[in-house]
Structure 1
Amino acid sequence: MSDHGPQPVVRQMPTEEARELLGLVRELIRREIEPEAAAGEEAGRFPRDLFRLLSESGLLGLPYDGEFGGGGQPYEVYLQILEELAAARLTVGLGVSVHSLSCHALAEFGTKEQRAEHLPAMLGGGLLGAYCLSEPASGSDAAAMTTRAVRDGDDWVINGTKAWITHGGVADFYTVLARTGAAGARGISAFLVPADTPGLSASAPERKMGMKGSPTAQIHFDDARVPDARRLGEEGQGFPIALAALDGGRLGIAACAIGVAQAALDEALAFTAGRRQFGRPLADFQGLRFMLADMATGIEAGRALYLSAARLRDAGLPYSRQAAMAKLFCTDTAMRVTTDAVQLMGGYGYTGDFPAERFMREAKVLQIVEGTNQIQRVVIARHLAGPESKG
């Protein structure tokens, strides 16, 4: 019988620097993340010290300009690193993706003075970010947000509630989208709000199916006063800023999804190779072998899709459609693969003694965040066939 079991993922790193970075990340994962992952998730512990270590190691600013403390890495490299982190613990991989998303508005739309003042601490100074777009009554319909910022001299006074905020209550800063003008997409602006701003508070974390180590909470603004110097981009430019960030964020979620799927496949391969039934390993039975083959094929296809979109981004070419496709396909693949991993492991897969059931619970949220997969289909269809008819 041929040797089988988990196979190492071969990364296509474009430079020697990137290959060394991958080695650093894998060692950090082995030493700092994997030993605590299962227990940390079961206990709902947020690994704040680990994010400080990631910051010190230069892993919280990988895709950003080195001039302000970023890693200067292509998105193609950043996403492969993200996949590795998510495979070890999704709370960490998704957390890095959310932090990167939170830095985007400042890095791409802030003035040089704003970037010089704030980015070094955000990218490598130990700070952790959160991204405040969704609200209790406006998730997919982000243009319907009601959180409002009103100009008062040199300040803006923000009132409202943001919902489903990853790192809510533990972040050091929040990138906040708020209404500054009339209803609709054109009346929204972006702000960089410190967590210690008077009037900013967090609700108790949501009780979730998975990712219990990653706090998700509502953020409340009650006459929270923010200087105009912390407005990012032009007044009313917030919606395009948000959409630009979401394109990159969707690729981050796609990479995280493939990481979770790869971890589930590796677990299923190890289990079916070691578990014997009817006198031979489970992995010898054709029906199960075909399931493993389909799981691996979906993972490879998803990885190729998100990397292809990343290369478009790195080349400065449009990639919104491909980002939506990658997010859709990779997260649906993660759900299928993790479900199949549990099935392959039978009753053992359904218990907390093995990580397969955790992977399955975690995969579900990836079909929801950064725009549900139904919204991704809307985005893709608009690119293909144009906007929907109003008549």
Structure 2
Amino acid sequence: MGLVTEERVILVGCRQKQSEKKADFESSMNELKSLAESAKGSVAAVKYQERDRVHPSTYIGKGKLREIASEAETVEADLLIFNDELSSGQAANIQNMTGFPVIDRTQLILDIFADRAQTKEGKIQVELAQLNYMLPRLTGQGESLSRLGGGIGTRGPGETKLETDRRHIQKRMDDLKKQLEQVKKRREVHREERKRSRRAQFALVGYTNAGKSTILNALTKADAVSEDELFATLDPLTRRVELPSGYQALMSDTVGFIQDLPTSLIASFRSTLEEVLEADVLIHVVDASGEEVDKHLKTVKSHLTQLSAGHLQVITVLNKVDQMQEETFIPEGRTLRMNAYDKNDQQQLLHEMEEALKDISVYFSIDVTPDRGDAVAKIRQEAVLDTEMFDEERSVFRLKGYLFADHPLWGLIQEFKQEET
């Protein structure tokens, strides 16, 4: 559940001068602000320090920490949120020095995920990721893992006083993994059913808040959560979408990516993200109105490579072009500019999706006699048809279109090709 009242938070970052460009650091801090606001936090101040490297015991210098503690008192802050993943020792030392509760970027993202998960699978994955994060940090962390009174960073298993019993946590993790395995098996059954029908599949991927759910809703009349906030969609949703030829494909929404996405989350959500690997074509949705388009493109590409999905055909959708401030970097390949709410742009995307399917399918041209209406109906349903007409002179249906090379209907297609010869 989200907070009833907003917590006042101070964001803290450390720019490592030797390895991090100033623009990249500023982008990361802006993203942390968006994450904090997504967790229903009110950002009271943003503080940072430039150093050659992070301080091994306190992340930033002790003098800077004292300055932050003083400001936190002044603005009546409830919480300090750090832009990097803190070690157990760092978090404990910072909390002891400042007297304020402390969480890091990873905990913040996990907290948002805990708040957004709706399905049983999503909730299991989030809790498993949280436990994976917390287990090595139990010693000496005390209150920073289980803050009294609730608030940001305490959703999910934070309520169970995790630091008191390491064995209890390990047992809980084992139980969650077994539950996740059962859910995964059920998902695999559904995937196998889809494979047997060889229905074309598209997967929406992209940086969080790029507009994937809005596009899914517009094209499929689905009811995916579509909000202007980070990680509005956490659980996968698959719906039918009708292409211009009348062909019915499948379209899946997926969790949005983000730079520095915690490794534990990628691991825990792997079964959900495998929807991406099942796709024939990826639709990479990019927020063209943002200032970090190039960086977001690279982040998503990196995550797709991690998932072994870098080889799949991609349609890049530059969304929110009506809000674009300046000329956006245009990636190579099939690219479309659109406003997800514009009907004409929606039709253009459907057309691009159909063309992308043709690129990875095999062309056929056959004649079918009227007595084989059953065959015409099957081909009409399973193939992307370019031409369907009745040749009155020859008294045959002329069908021209595209079909996947591994589709079970090829035997029927070959039968009519032989009849032609």
- TM-score range relative to shorter protein: under 0.3
Higher strand share: 2
Higher helix share: 1
What is the TM-score normalised by the length of structure 2?
0.25
More relative contact order in 1 or in 2 (CA 8 Å, sep 6+)?
Answer: 1
